[in-house]
Structure 1
Amino acid sequence: MDVTSILILLLVGAIATFFVGDKLASKVALLFSLITFGFSLFLLNIFNQGNNISYISSWIDIPKVALAFKADGLSIAMVLLTTALTPLIILSSFGNSFTNAKNFYALVLFMSFAMTGTFLAADGLLYYVFWELALIPIYFIALIWGHGDAEKRKKAVIKFFIYTLAGSLFMLIGFTYLYTKSNSFLLEDLYKLELSSTEQCYIFFAFFLAYAIKIPLIPFHTWQAKVYQKAPTVGTMLLSGIMLKMGLYSVIRWQLPIAPAAAKTYMPILIGLSIAGVIYGSIVALRQKDLKKLLAYSSLAHVGLIAAGCYTVTLDGLRGAVSQMIAHGFVIVGLFFAAEIIYRRYETLTISEMGGIRSQTPKFSSMFMILVLASVALPGTFNFVGEFTVLYSLSQVNLWFAILGGTTIILGAYYMLKMFQNTMLGETNTKIFTDITTNEAITLLAIIGFLLCFGLYPKPIVDLVTPSLNEILETIKR
């Protein structure tokens, strides 16, 4: 039994969801996503017992391509993030009505399949195939079921598609060159290559373009806010909660170990660029009047800090970055879902048109407050563990990096608490805010429970990812 079972379940789930019809599509999609999550936990237990759950088999002879899926602590952590968030995202959509629901939910499961494959792939060409496959479903989800004016939505989605596709082509060129040097796309063979400084530089920045657009880092971020705003909330959750982690994960798995000399040479520039994103995202978030756009720029600031942790090329930096990837995935999904709950009742995302929600639904406002506090890394939440570790690693490189990176906490606290005040407190909106449903409550409580549980006891996740991060650092030091 190996990790290919997860991919098979998600793919079969996507096909089954498409064929059951619109009426049952959401329920079948939820069922398969829950089964996949349960099976992921089962495989985690097998892995923790010391069993090998990786898979490798020959696929194409010329060029030499393998069906290789690597299951170590790092990839399993990202697979668990994907398979845990997918059922929560599907459950969160039950308050919405979608035309051609079978297509919509089949695309959601297919996107989860592609993202899971990206996290597991240990062959460069196979990895590239999954990387590109993940782009297709989100393109249609945002284009067909998105919000707002159709022309503006189309423009935003096409820009996102072209940006990400163009960046990925540079990565493909990089893999092609690496194949000419090793006659293999296998990750372990690429790790063994002894590239010159010039070669590493070219490879590093070929990968960097693909990852910087996907994460995104400034100045490659211009697609993000509009797509997050125009996409249906399910699409925004998939993008912010999971898909952007593909770029951050790939920095650790592919970019740093294959071109370590370039990573060390350009470390100050890369960290500086990442921290610039932290400051920029926070300042722009302060000026937002639309709730989803505010959360989009907040996400930009947080992933900038995660990227800075990755580029420290230290164990604390990588460990903090992975912890924060997982924490950010849960909290941003929770925040976007809270925004969707408000939109369902008020039919607006303009912050100035909200207010007084707490007096009508104190339970929802309390859960929203916990998510806001987790977002600003309150001690006791999992976000604090990740951000503190990343800031500590930055201080080991340069104290000023840590000080500037820490602005995400200060500025984040200001704009998030101000947003909470304007949406939850103050005068009551003329529309009645009905209490949250059972499905909405279950989704929010599951997210909050995770953030508090691992905020108080992060050891299982830290212990899971540390051995694989140590292996990557050993590869970098060679």
Structure 2
Amino acid sequence: MLAFTCYSNNAEALSYNASWMGILNSSFAIKADGMGAMLCMLTAVSFPLIFISTWTTAYKNAKNFLGLMLLTQAGLMGVFLAMDALLFYFFWELALIPVYFICSQWGNERRIKVTFKFFIYTFVGSLLMLIGILYIYSKTNSFAIEAFYNSALDSKQQMWVFWLFFVAFAIKMPIFPLHTWQPDAYEQSPTAATMVLSGVMVKMGVLGLLRWLLPVLPIASYSWGDTVSTMAVIGIIYASLIAFQQDDMKRLVAYSSIAHIGLMCIAVFAETRSSIQGTMLQMFSHGINILGMWIIVEIIERKFGTRKMSELGGIAKKAPALTIFFFVIAFANIALPLTNAFVGEFLMFNGILSSPITHYGIAFTVAPERVLSLVQFTH
């Protein structure tokens, strides 16, 4: 089991533990370990960028909109810091609920249908995760993360509990075939909400794999690793091929994001130090790069009145600074050397290729790399 340690020697300054639900043996335990602190920094950087980039957008009941956005931020911070399973579930729901209201009230014309689909997917996933948490609690009589790590479930128990957790995390990331809510939600949501969903909220699922799935259910993670990685590879190829056909820039970015998250999922289940380190670096880099893409889409839509690529042309002459920014972000998204995404992606591919956990390291490395490069260079 890989351990994620705090980056500071002063651990007391980075953790807090207080009595919360003593009757259930649950505490309000939060800690900013290395991964949590990094994702909190991503969240803290992302929200000001989102507000600044969309400040000219006129929202009906703007106070309600901004209040729900900040409530989402609070939930995300809690998910990244929680060291108690019940507290983790509480913040998981807290981060999602405001998004339902944001998408349903400030989205586009198909917002109700799309939000309902999003609600059904996430509700089912959350319910399955709650069942898994309560089952492990019945064996440990504690929600503390240390108790979950030491739960010592046998292999048969781990095999089915694994899917209770993984489905919840896979929906959030999302991973094929649980991804169908994402493109519609990204397209119909207001741009600010789309930025939160793609830049920060998908990292909830990746963190769930790293902090709550692999360490708690190591035998099942090893046994199901190739199955999950195969699903991720199918999702990468499938989403990339669909991205080829997109005319709407929002849907293009949405499908390309599925491919990037799929690669992180493969790296997690490679279970090597290089792949895990690369995944953590890539979570931050992907968040920054995808926000940059959404900012460009927002500027183009505001300046030219359309997101359809077939109706755009001559942007380099009309907006040269925007074009340069567009190229820089596009190169970063394909992990070109000297860009911020290169180090993380290189470490992930290196870890996948050298993984002793899987017999398909070459296939899991070559297929995603070729498809990701092809689809992004083409667009």
Q: Which category of TM-score, normalised to the shorter sequence, fits these structures?
A: over 0.9
Tell me by how many angstroms 1:413 deviates: 3.0
Matches within 5 A, 1:23-422: 48-52=8-12, 53-147=14-108, 149=109, 152-397=110-355, 398-416=361-379
User: Structure 1: how far apart are the matches of 2:279 and 2:295?
Assistant: 24
Tell me by how many angstroms 1:64 deviates: 1.5
Q: Which has the larger radius of gyration?
A: 1
Deviations 1:153-184 (A, max 9, x none): 21011100110011110100011011111100
Deviations 1:230-267 (A, max 9, x none): 00110000000000100011100000000000111111
User: Structure 1: how far apart are the matches of 2:191 and 2:325?
Assistant: 18
User: Structure 1: how far apart are the matches of 2:120 and 2:31?
Assistant: 30
User: Structure 2: how far apart are the matches of 1:90 and 1:364?
Assistant: 19
Tell me if structure 2 keeps the 8 A contact 1:378–1:384.
yes
User: Structure 2: how far apart are the matches of 1:47 and 1:287?
Assistant: 44
Tell me if structure 2 keeps the 8 A contact 1:377–1:409.
no
Tell me if structure 2 keeps the 8 A contact 1:376–1:412.
no
Whichever residue aligns with residue 332 of structure 1, its letter is I
Whichever residue aligns with residue 410 of structure 1, its letter is S
Whichever residue aligns with residue 50 of structure 1, its letter is N
- Aligned residue in 2 for 1:470: none
Tell me by how many angstroms 1:47 deviates: 6.0
Tell me if structure 2 keeps the 8 A contact 1:305–1:405.
yes
Instruction: Return closer, same or farther for 1:415/1:139 CA change in 2, 3 Å cut-off.
Output: farther
Tell me by how many angstroms 1:409 deviates: 3.5
Tell me if structure 2 keeps the 8 A contact 1:132–1:165.
no
Tell me if structure 1 keeps the 8 A contact 2:282–2:341.
yes
Tell me by how many angstroms 1:386 deviates: 1.3
- For structure 1, the residue ranges without an aligned partner over 5 or more in a row are 1-45, 417-478
Whichever residue aligns with residue 24 of structure 2, its letter is P
Tell me if structure 2 keeps the 8 A contact 1:114–1:133.
yes
Q: Secondary structure at the match of 1:266?
A: helix
Tell me by how many angstroms 1:51 deviates: 4.0
Deviations 1:173-209 (A, max 9, x none): 0110111111000001110111100111122110011
User: Structure 1: how far apart are the matches of 2:7 and 2:329?
Assistant: 32
- Aligned residue in 2 for 1:431: none
User: Structure 1: how far apart are the matches of 2:232 and 2:365?
Assistant: 12
Tell me by how many angstroms 1:365 deviates: 0.6
Q: Secondary structure at the match of 2:256?
A: helix
User: Structure 1: how far apart are the matches of 2:319 and 2:363?
Assistant: 43
Tell me if structure 1 keeps the 8 A contact 2:272–2:352.
no
Q: Secondary structure at the match of 1:406?
A: helix
Whichever residue aligns with residue 369 of structure 2, its letter is G
User: Structure 1: how far apart are the matches of 2:160 and 2:59?
Assistant: 45
Query: How does the TM-score come out when normalised to structure 2?
Result: 0.95
- Aligned residue in 1 for 2:358: none
Tell me if structure 1 keeps the 8 A contact 2:241–2:375.
no
Whichever residue aligns with residue 306 of structure 1, its letter is M
Whichever residue aligns with residue 403 of structure 1, its letter is V
Q: Secondary structure at the match of 2:344?
A: helix
User: Structure 2: how far apart are the matches of 1:389 and 1:276?
Assistant: 21
- Aligned residue in 2 for 1:17: none
User: Structure 1: how far apart are the matches of 2:103 and 2:323?
Assistant: 28
User: Structure 2: how far apart are the matches of 1:48 and 1:90?
Assistant: 31
Tell me if structure 2 keeps the 8 A contact 1:391–1:405.
no
Instruction: Return closer, same or farther for 1:391/1:66 CA change in 2, 3 Å cut-off.
Output: same
User: Structure 2: how far apart are the matches of 1:124 and 1:51?
Assistant: 20
Q: Could you say what the CA RMSD is over the residues aligned between the two structures, in angstroms? A: 1.3
Tell me by how many angstroms 1:301 deviates: 0.6
Whichever residue aligns with residue 132 of structure 1, its letter is E
Query: How does the TM-score come out when normalised to structure 1?
Result: 0.75
Tell me if structure 1 keeps the 8 A contact 2:259–2:372.
no
User: Structure 2: how far apart are the matches of 1:332 and 1:195?
Assistant: 38
Q: Secondary structure at the match of 1:48?
A: coil
Moved over 6 A (4+): none
User: Structure 2: how far apart are the matches of 1:271 and 1:329?
Assistant: 22
